[in-house]
Amino acid sequence: FEIFNFGLAEALGIPNSCYGSMMTRLSINAGWPYALILLLFGGLFLHAIVVDMRNLSRKDAVTKFLSRLLHVSIIVFYLVLPSVSRGIFDAITCQSFASNDADNKAESYLRSDWRLQCDGDDPSYDRVKTLFWVLFTAWPVSVPMVFLGLLLYIRPSVQSNRITPFAEACRFLWRDYERSTMYWEFIDLVRKICL
């Protein structure tokens, strides 16, 4: 089931140590969804030029392209958020070991990179913690907040049953729910991150 968590390297049996330091792994983990969206952007852009520009006016083709891009981006972010968040939280998951039983001393190491000591003055781990806070803000905090902002913005349109093109582009977030419970996807997403 690891492939459904989008831990593709783990699913293919590639050890973490094969693709760099913890900083590199965090950067790849948080960056690959953006690369995927850029790739999809290119495909949607080509589709808009080849197909939509022939059948629609320029303004309608651009509107349709942006709507498709928003819809696809929402789906990608929704699907990868739990696994990306899990990878980000790996940057602060430490395990403690008794180093001296007589003095009751223990040392703590990062579980995803045993070379990094969590409780010492390890400058490498300090850089990892800094990157953790940046990525924590960018992914597990910002993505659900953007989804909530989108839902709040389209709420009047959905409640009045006058679906705008923007609300239609965000349909992945609300279509499966009653109008009174359209925020449930946001709540469920936060629940998934917390697990």
- Confidence band of 2 (pLDDT split at 50, 70, 90): very low
Q: How many angstroms separate the CA atoms of 147 and 133, rounded?
A: 20
- For the segment 135-140, the average pLDDT, to the nearest whole number, is 96
Report yes or no: 155 and 162 within 8 Å, Cβ to Cβ.
Answer: no
Q: What is the dihedral of CA 28, 18, 16, 132, to 10 degrees?
A: -40
Q: How many angstroms separate the CA atoms of 155 and 161, rounded?
A: 10
- Confidence band of 3 (pLDDT split at 50, 70, 90): very low
> If we measure between CA atoms, which residue out of 33, 136, 13 comes closest to residue 85?
136
- For the segment 118-122, the average pLDDT, to the nearest whole number, is 84
Q: Model pTM?
A: 0.85
For residue 8, what pLDDT is reported?
A: 59
Report yes or no: 2 and 10 within 8 Å, Cβ to Cβ.
Answer: yes
Cα angle 21, 23, 79; round to 5: 110
Q: How many angstroms separate the CA atoms of 172 and 36, rounded?
A: 18
Strand-pairing partners, residue 105, are 100
Strand-pairing partners, residue 97, are 107
- Share the mean pLDDT of the chain: 88
